[in-house]
Amino acid sequence: MMSASRATVLWGLVAEHAAAAGRRVTIGDVCAVAVASARASGGWVAAASGRGPDFVLYVTDPVSEQLAELQLLLGEGPSHDVLAAAAPVLGADLGDKESARRWPAFTAEARSTGATAVFVFPLMIGAIRSGIIGLYRSSPGPLSSQQLGDCLLLADTATVLLLESLDGGTAAADGNGHGTRPGGQSPGLAVHRVEIDQATGMLTEQLGVTAAEAFARLRAYAYARDRRLADVAGDIVARRLRLDPDPGQVGL
């Protein structure tokens, strides 16, 4: 009964957050309440397909966006582990040896953004894994038992909202008439997702490879040049950049 009561309280906070913005509830409101409840510095929500994060739906701040994109770019990090294990991954100190062992590339990059702790929860119902909700802190330390419980309840709420929005397949509008995408995805992030999908599709034709291989090439190019994945995708879509079929040569 206690968890049911707490779930009611948390839903009230989510509804209040949405009402203050003059719109209906989205996963962005759930993420914002999770950040506040966990005393985190920021958070993000990513949809998923297969065993890894697919595209970013919502971020609270620039660091959250960097952390979400880093894991997509590097192909490693707590978001990947969460989906593979179907269980929360709690990195209370990214400076410890365990984090460095599990995510050598991600840990170094994440700490450079100012994040020192990362907590990620799966969005899932039964065998359906629809995404993740992640939180970061700028100082190390574990979640308290209540904070952990709140995050688990909010992850359940976010799962339902995400699955409902994807089933609906239509864009919502806030009280000001501004469009949002499935689950409350901002127009800016939606554009990034579309460009990444388009660039991947173009590379499958240009390079004569599968979509998975094309996306791997896209990630490798962005990582090698320390560029954002969305920026490289935008250049490919605009035909400012073309990747050579030879893996050893990449040129304009």
Quickly list DSSP for 59-113: ESSHHHHHHHHHHHHHS-SHHHHHHHHTS-EEES-TTSHHHHHH-HHHHHHHHHT
Tell me the CATH architecture of domain 2-183: 2-Layer Sandwich (3.30)
CB under 8 Å, gap of 24 or more: what pairs does 188-191 form? 189/55, 189/56, 189/57, 189/58, 189/59
Contacts of 163 (CB under 8 A, 6+ apart): 125, 128, 130
pLDDT score, position 170: 37
Mean pLDDT, the chain, rounded, equals 82
| Cα(63)–Cα(138) distance, integer angstroms | 10
Task: Please count the helices (runs of H) and the strands (runs of E) in the chain.
Answer: 10, 7
pLDDT score, position 214: 80
Residue 51 pLDDT class (50, 70, 90 cuts):
low
> Average pLDDT of 6-24?
91
Residues of the chain with CATH 1.10.10: 186-237
CA quadruple 142, 144, 145, 146: dihedral sign: negative
Calculate the CA dihedral of residues 45, 47, 51, 53 and round it to 10 degrees.
Answer: -60
Residue 14 predicted with pLDDT over 50: yes
Q: Which residue has the higher pLDDT, 227 or 247?
A: 227
Contacts of 186 (CB under 8 A, 6+ apart): 28, 58, 180
The yes/no answer on whether domain 186-237 falls in CATH 1.10.3470 is no
> Average pLDDT of 99-124?
95
Greatest mean pLDDT among 53-67, 102-116, 153-167, 184-198: 102-116
Residue 132 predicted with pLDDT over 90: yes
Residue 232 predicted with pLDDT over 90: no
> Average pLDDT of 119-147?
93
Summarize pLDDT for 167-203 with one digit per residue, the tens.
544 333 333 333 344 444 454 555 556 677 778 788 8
Residue 116 predicted with pLDDT over 90: yes
Q: What percent of the chain has pLDDT over 90?
A: 44
pLDDT score, position 172: 38
Residues of the chain with CATH 3.30.450.40: 2-183
Summarize pLDDT for 138-176 with one digit per residue, the tens.
999 999 999 999 999 999 999 988 887 665 443 333 333
8 Å CB contact between 230 and 221: no
At 39, give phi and psi (nearest 5°).
55, 45
